[in-house]
Amino acid sequence: MSQWSLGISITVTILACVLFLGVVGHSRLTNTEELELTLQVLAMSATAIAFCVAIRQYALSREQRRAEWLDDLSRRFFEDQTYRNMRTLLDYRSAPEFGRLKSAIMTGDFEGCVEMGAELDQYLNFFERLGALKRLGQLRVGDIRTMFEYYLRLLNREPWLVEYVASNGFEELQTLLLELKETPR
């Protein structure tokens, strides 16, 4: 039981005891209207508190799910081989492959680097998925910043990549990149 739920439970118990003692201690205990009214107030109070506890539990569940998604996404991004090559390529721009990829993107001629182009698209699709989850309210921009801001900024620092994102249907990623550019840390 969380601290918050425990606090609510104790508060409800104390409130119920106080109201019960007030009813029992009342000299006109035989007045059924007062007894019914007191019981109705108790029932409504318990219902309202139960509603608040349910809302809180829902919020905690949603936060837990968001944390699990972020953990899963970060594991995929950092541990799987799928994104490792492109992460390295964009991080250490000096590799000859970087120049070949840039040239292929800018000219549209992927001869000799089709596989690298496919890896780039997989990499960009990962961030497109993050943008879609943000738009759907499943992730917050702060969550994305915490885990992936560095890699999104790597994309933003290359105008040819920003143009590639804009002209190849990566709308969610484009929005995410614009948000990062507009709100520097």
pLDDT in tens, 82-135: 899 899 999 988 778 898 999 999 998 888 888 889 999 999 999 999 999 999
pLDDT at 25: 56
Mean local confidence (pLDDT), 33-38: 75
Q: How far apart are CA 158 and CA 106, in angstroms?
A: 12
**Both 126 and 165 in a single domain?**
yes
Phi, psi (rounded to 5 degrees) for 113: -145, 40
In a domain? residue 71: no
In a domain? residue 69: no
Q: Please give the residue range of the domain that contains residue 102.
A: 80-182
Q: How far apart are CA 1 and CA 59, in angstroms?
A: 15
pLDDT of 26 over the 70 cut: no
Q: For the chain, what percent of residues have pLDDT higher than 90?
A: 37
**Both 55 and 85 in a single domain?**
no
Q: Could you give the angle at which helices 159-167 and 171-182 cross, rounded to 10 degrees? A: 140
pLDDT of 21 over the 60 cut: no
Q: Is 0.85 surpassed by the pTM of this model?
A: no
Higher local confidence (pLDDT), 140 or 44? 140
**Both 95 and 170 in a single domain?**
yes
In a domain? residue 75: no
- Give the total number of structural domains in the chain: 2
In a domain? residue 34: yes
